[in-house]
Amino acid sequence: MRRVEDLGPGGKAVLLRADLNVPLDGARITDDGRIRASLPTIGKLTARGARVIVCAHLGRPKGEDYAQRAAGGPSLRPVAARLGELLGQPVAFADDVAGSSAAAVAAGLADGEVALLENVRFEPAETSKDDGQRAELARRLAALAELYVGDGFGAMHRKHASVYDVPRLLPHAAGDLVAAEISVLRQLTTEPPRPYVVVLGGAKPSDKLAVIGNLLTRADRLLIGGGMAYTFLAAQGHQVGGSLLEADQIPQVSAVLAEAARAGVEVVLPSDHIVAGRLAADAPAETVAEVDIPAGKLGLDIGPATRAEFARKLTDARTVFWNGPPGVFEYPAFADGTRAVAEAITKVEGLTVVGGGDSAAAVRLLGIPESAFTHISTGGGASLEYLEGRELPGLTALADGR
Ligand code: ADP
Ligand code: MG
């Protein structure tokens, strides 16, 4: 795969697909981690005198056509402002994705300057399953530039126009973020130092069963917390009260447990819980000191005994992959499990990788220094699909020589 340095971007217009999909509270950016992660490649391009036209998506715009989506938002405009602050130079903003505003803004850039296009998902063709529709948008985007750099790791698992189709139309290279992500994830799939411990949490097992299946052939130990743990506990015949449960996934989860036993992979599930009567910031938290949860109560975090057990199971690890918070960390009363897991991982001597948008946001929200981990991936779905062994369309497109 070609890199930015190989492209000779000086004096050229470069379309950079970045991942700027930050969490928003109204127009306020609550975590700018993904913007920061995009800076090295943008800086490398501007330092070489490229005219950088950044293309990115934000959230999930709804509506039949461009006009409806643009009216409903979210707009990338606040992201342009934050990107400018972090870069220390103004970022011009195009009011459309690949229309007259984009063309004017791109034409107005001088060497070393940066522009951001409006939310690419305002264009329904961006995510279309129809190759022709995507190709038409890709042609309009490609017309804005002479070169393409793919650096939006978080979107690399999507066969989208700006990710998959544009690199077929322009000489292209992989950005530094993508290169860094791949080099770390590759270490997890090729002879990771052992013991290799995987910590999984988050909302639903159905999101992650495929990666669990793949990890069973690689990891030595699986620590499972968070919302997904209750389907595992239910599969073992435990009472889970009103906790998050995907009853239809019980057969698959049972199969995973059986496969783990066969493969000699240790699976550690919660043995106690922090529960509440409802999922709310002000719901009074109680500890349930056993595996079974009473009716009417929701398990919202792992309990103290589970925290200690998870930490113990991490002490001798030489490789750790953590995806999915073990509790509802967004509310302080249910954040202790996530904090305990994060802190235990920071003490591990070895390769420690955090994957998953919410897990990465939790690390930052809890004030744990990012430098305490080997790598915090910007791509939740993308990193999981890579670890599943699936081909990422965005990477495939970048790898094609041209
Ligand atoms: P990631 O983005 O890191 O892959 P997920 O998106 O899978 O993680 O899950 C994150 C969400 O899971 C968080 O919003 C968190 O509140 C939620 N969660 C964690 N534990 C529970 C639980 N016990 N019950 C309900 N939701 C939970
Ligand atoms: Mg998530």
The tens digit of pLDDT for each residue in 196-221 reads 999 999 988 888 888 898 888 899 99
CA distance to 19, 20, 34, 193, 304, per residue, from 39 (Å): 11, 11, 9, 31, 39
CA of 130 to the centre of ligand 2 (A): 27
Among this protein's residues, is 12 annotated catalytic? Answer: no
**Cα distance between residue 302 and residue 293, in whole Å:** 12
CA of 9 to the centre of ligand 2 (A): 35
**Which residues does residue 268 pair with via DSSP β-bridges, in sequence order?**
223
* Ligand 1: centre distance to CA 224 (Å): 12
Tell me whether residue 357 is one of the annotated catalytic residues.
yes
59 is catalytic: no
Tell me if residue 204 is catalytic.
Answer: yes
203 pocket-lining for ligand 1 (C-beta < 6 Å): yes
The model's pLDDT over 338-378, given as tens digits with 9 standing for 90+, comes to 999 999 999 999 999 999 888 998 999 999 999 999 999 98
The first and second tokens of residue 263, run together, are: 């493969």
- Burial class for 21, CB neighbours closer than 10 Å (0-12, 13-18, 19+): buried
Omega into 40 within 30° of 0, i.e. cis? no
Three-class HEC string of the chain:
CCEHHHHCCCCCEEEEECCCCCCEECCEECCCHHHHHHHHHHHHHHHCCCEEEEECCCCCCCCCCHHHHHHHCCCCHHHHHHHHHHHCCCEEECCCCCCHHHHHHHHCCCCCCEEECCCHHHCHHHHCCCHHHHHHHHHHHHCCCCEEEECCHHHCCCCCHHHHHHHHCCCEEECHHHHHHHHHHHHHHCCCCCCEEEEECCCCHHHHHHHHHHHCCCCCEEEECCCCHHHHHHHCCCCECCCCCCHHHHHHHHHHHHHHHHHCCEEECCCCEEEECCCCCCCCCEEECCCCECCCCEEEEECHHHHHHHHHHHCCCCEEEEECCCCCCCCHHHCHHHHHHHHHHHCCCCEEEEECHHHHHHHHHCCCCHHHCCEECCCHHHHHHHHHCCCCHHHHHHHCCC
Q: From 288, 345, 358, 359, give the residue whose CB has the most ligand 1 atoms within 8 Å, as the site to mutate.
A: 358
From 36, 204, 364, 390, the catalytic residue: 204
Rounded Cα distance, 50 and 360, in Å? 31
Instruction: Give the position, in ligand 1's atom list, of the atom nearest the Cα of 230.
Output: 23
Ligand 1 atom at minimal distance to the Cα of residue 208:
7
pLDDT at 402: 61
287 token code pair? 């500890």
How far apart, in whole angstroms, are the C-alpha atoms of residue 22 and residue 317?
31
Closest ligand 1 atom to residue 331 Cα is 16
One digit per residue, pLDDT tens: the chain, 402 residues? 999 999 999 999 999 999 999 989 888 998 898 999 999 999 999 999 999 999 999 999 999 999 999 999 999 999 999 999 999 999 999 999 999 999 999 999 999 999 999 999 999 999 999 999 999 999 999 999 999 999 999 999 999 999 999 999 999 999 999 999 999 999 999 989 999 999 999 988 888 888 898 888 899 999 999 999 999 999 999 999 999 999 999 999 999 999 999 999 999 999 999 999 999 999 999 999 999 999 999 999 999 999 999 999 999 999 999 999 999 999 999 999 999 999 999 999 999 999 988 899 899 999 999 999 999 998 888 999 999 889 999 999 999 866
